[in-house]
Amino acid sequence: MTSKTATAIPTTTTTTTITATTATTAATTATTAFETIKKYVVLFGAISAIVLGTVAVMSFTHHTVTTFMWVRGGILLAIAPMLHRFATKASEGSPAALDHIRTLATVMPIALIGVDLIPGLCPAWYAVLQGLSALALVAVAIITRSAAVRDAA
């Protein structure tokens, strides 16, 4: 009877250790995923700043720049801090923030590329730069749907 008790204790201890290790690995994976999301959001903001800066340079050098380009560039640059805030709140465990960033990261690239495909609305260089910013958001959309992020929320 003593040997059965001695055998049961190590088995329970081993199971507890494996569970703790699995939980730690899942938390590390989720943390890494949220850090990556934040980096892609920063990339989106940086590209948006480059777009707006390019529009400004084009305007100052007397190239054709439309109001659409100014307004859209400004709006997308203004949205970047909001996206970063959602990413930060989601990493802290807010399901609402995760839902916001997941939705925006899915809808925005479709809208950006869809509008850029309207003939004559913006020059090709502008559409390419906007497409690059959309790629950063596509990465965010993919990561926010990963198992690590979904389980963390």
pLDDT digits (tens, 9 = 90+) for 73-126: 999 999 999 999 999 999 999 999 999 999 999 999 999 999 999 998 999 999
What's the domain count of the chain?
Answer: 1
Quick check: is 144 in a domain? yes
Quick check: is 1 in a domain? no
Quick check: is 14 in a domain? no
Quick check: is 109 in a domain? yes
The domain containing residue 89 runs over which residues?
27-152
Query: Do residues 47 and 129 touch, judged by C-beta distance below 8 A?
Result: yes
Of residues 86, 97, 107, the one with CA closest to residue 40: 86
Buried b (16+ CB within 10 A) or exposed e, 52-65: bebbeebeeeeeeb
Q: What is the pLDDT of residues 25-49, one digit of tens each?
A: 666 888 899 999 999 999 999 999 9
